[in-house]
Amino acid sequence: MGKNTGFLEFDRKTGPDRDIKKRVKDYLEVHQIYESDEECRLQGARCMDCGIPFCQTGMFLGRAATGCPLANLVPEFNDLIYKGEFKEAYRRLRKTNGFPEFTGRVCPALCEGACTCGNNFESISVRNNEWYLSEKAWRDGDMTADPPKSRTGKKVAVIGSGPSGLACADQLNKAGHSVTVFERADRPGGLLMYGIPNMKLDKKVILRRVKLMEEEGVTFKLGVEIGHDISAKEIKSSFDAVVLCCGSTKPRDLKVEGRDLKGIHFAVDFLRGNTKALFEDDHFKKSGPAPSLKISAKGKNVVIIGGGDTGTDCVATAVRQGAASVIQLEITGPLPDSRSEANPWPEYPFIKKNDYGQEEAEELFGEDPRHYFMSTEKFIGDSKGNVKELSVVQVSWENGKPVPIDETRKTIKADLVILAMGFLGPEDIIADELKLDRDKRSNISAEFGEFKTNIEGVFAAGDMRRGQSLVVWAMTEGRGAARECDRYLRKGHTVLP
């Protein structure tokens, strides 16, 4: 695949990032794609004829999955890129990935962590190649509506329009079923729309894809919350099958003294509010902080509790809103700069990365905003009930538990606190109404690969079934649930992969 000696001749290259000083003044995408077909073609040339492409395995090794959960045919589309056959490369990619314009932007590239070339050299820039292929297809007019040639007469309700819901609806529609997607928000996309900031995933990209899905026959009902506006039982009785893709939406709280003070918010509310304000003012291309914000970091000392991608997104959003300072507290320590002996290839590499939000905060405030091994013991307020400080302590980890180091206690200023500590599971209303079985983590019980709940004709996929995870896993589950739903509707066989 690719050029036999390509990985020796050409260095790894990704699309450029926009200049930090310019990008922090707007909400345009930070990361950019290649400037030409030739740049992408040379990166495709680096893909090795490695014999066993771990990049497309999607299996579990060590602590996490390695390789692409979608089983993208990575060496094949890279080979086609190298040969200049971009349309065929995109067709090959689309066989397994319905939305490469999403994964090309926000996937952590599990494929690259398992890349054979990456064992001794720099891995192939798979994600950037995927992103370039998808944008080229849209730019060249190759992305046109392709509705199914016939309909089965079966109706399916998909609850939730996040990555799992969109992937599920797309596949079920291709199988010829009549699909209605119910979304309680005012815009489709779920996590993609309101959980990921515009500077990482332009909202036009989501709306563009949804418009195409509508042209292909998928119906979207927005602002409809199942369990409130329509009962879950009514939905079940009105459709031949139901697929639940509602996500894991209960944020993890920090129940310490002072939690009821004003100025302490969940990350999802902070990020959603910022994106909503951008829409309301058509502010996406303007400079400066977004207007009309219910939760604003402007002029404030911001403390973000929690790491991960969500913590990074909160750092970047606070910077753009005009924060006076930004600190990010993590209770664990930093990851190593390179693979440890306990984390060998082709396992997913658990290594430290300086993401776009940290880069921006460091440029503006002079230091990495992350403070490691830090635990918040209480919030301290002023006379008006607003948070003004955090009492924190450094911890050491002993037998898997954080132990405070007494002499390290101190207070830090905080006018705004954002809790970015992940999610605990799905909300209860649909599960309770339909009497769905839950697992010990409160997720909907449904075996991976089958996606069937204990109620006939009701399936579950994505974070609602597996717990908080990656966009690429949500899409994988959505496609899998669509396959099993199709099998159910066709009484034992399916036309979906």
The 3 state secondary structure assigned to 266-298 is EHHHHHHHHHHHHHHCCCCCCCCCCCCCCCCCC
Confidence of residue 293 (pLDDT cuts 50, 70, 90): confident
Q: Is 16 exposed, middle or buried (0-12, 13-18, 19+ CB in 10 A)?
A: exposed
In whole angstroms, give the CA distance from residue 86 to residue 339: 34
Q: Give me the CATH topology for the region 6-139.
A: Fumarate Reductase Iron-sulfur Protein; Chain B, domain 2 (1.10.1060)
Please report the DSSP string for 174-227 in residue order: HTT-EEEEEESSSSS-TIIIIIS-TTTS-HHHHHHHHHHHHHTT-EEEES--BT
* Average pLDDT of the chain, as a whole number: 95
End-to-end CA distance of the chain, in Å? 24
Q: Tokens 């209770």 — which residue? A: 331
Q: Are strands 387-398 and 155-159 parallel, antiparallel or unpaired?
A: unpaired
Q: Which CATH superfamily is domain 155-250+424-489 in?
A: FAD/NAD(P)-binding domain (3.50.50.60)
Q: How far apart are CA 272 and CA 276, in angstroms?
A: 6
In eight-state DSSP terms, residue 17 is B
Residue 164 has pLDDT above 70, yes or no: yes
Q: Tell me the mean pLDDT in the region 28-48.
A: 96
Instruction: Report CA 226 to chain centroid distance, whole Å.
Output: 23
What is the C-alpha to C-alpha distance for residues 322 and 151, in angstroms, rounded to an integer?
A: 52
For strands 416-419 and 410-413, give the pairing. unpaired
**Reported confidence tier of residue 87, pLDDT bands at 50, 70, 90:** very high
SS3 of 309-372: HHHHHHHHHHHHHCCCEEEEECCCCCCCCCCCCCCCCCCCCCCCCCCHHHHHHHHHHCCCCEEC
CB 136 within 8 A of CB 37: yes
Q: Which band of pLDDT confidence, cut at 50, 70 and 90, is reported for residue 51?
A: confident
Alpha helices in 15-115 (DSSP H): 20-23, 37-45, 74-82, 86-94, 100-106, 110-113
Each domain of the chain, given as residue ranges in start order, spans 6-139, 155-250+424-489, 264-419
Residue 383: phi and psi, rounded to 5, are -70, -15
Same fold, 155-250+424-489 and 264-419: yes
**Residue 15 pLDDT class (50, 70, 90 cuts):** very high
Quote the pLDDT of residue 63: 86
Q: What is the pLDDT of residue 286?
A: 64
Residues 264-419, CATH architecture: 3-Layer(bba) Sandwich (3.50)
Report whether pLDDT(246) > 80.
yes
Helix, coil or strand: residue 437: coil
User: Can you tell me the distance from the alpha carbon of 92 to that of 77, in angstroms, rounded to the nearest whole number?
Assistant: 6
**Range in 80-84, 157-161, 285-289 with the lowest mean pLDDT:** 285-289
pLDDT for position 28: 94
pLDDT at position 291 is: 65
d(CA 280, CA 290): 10
Neighbouring residues of 342: CB distance < 8 A, sequence distance ≥ 6: none
User: Strand, coil or helix: what is 418?
Assistant: strand
The band of 287, judged by pLDDT with boundaries at 50, 70 and 90, is: low
Distance CA 278, CA 290 (A): 6
**pLDDT recorded at residue 49:** 83
Six token digits for residue 342: 């306990």
Rounded to two decimals, the pTM is 0.96
Rounded to whole angstroms, the Cα distance separating 263 from 265 reads 6
CA-closest candidate to residue 265, choices 371, 417, 407, 75: 417
By the 8 A CB rule, do 389 and 380 touch? Answer: yes
Q: Which two tokens stand for residue 474?
A: 């949500």
pLDDT at 339 (0 to 100) = 93
| pLDDT greater than 80 at residue 282 | no
Residue 59's CB is within 10 A of a number of other CB atoms, namely 12
288 — pLDDT class (breaks 50, 70, 90): low
Report yes or no: 421 and 305 within 8 Å, Cβ to Cβ.
yes
For the chain, the residue count is: 497
Q: What is the pLDDT of residue 285?
A: 65
| Residue 314 main-chain phi, psi, to 5 deg | -70, -40
Distances, alpha carbon 422 to alpha carbons 308, 311, 467, in Å:
9, 9, 10
Quick check: 79 pLDDT over 80?
yes
Tell me what percent of the residues of the chain surpass a pLDDT of 90: 93
- Using alpha carbons, list the distances in angstroms from residue 318 to 297, 301, 370: 5, 10, 14
pLDDT-derived band of residue 352, with 50, 70 and 90 as boundaries? very high
Phi, psi of 181 (to 5 degrees): -100, 125
Q: Give the count of alpha carbons within 13 A of 61, CB side only.
A: 21
Among candidate residues 315, 321, 323, 303, the one with its CA nearest the CA of residue 355: 315
* Model confidence at 470: pLDDT above 90: yes
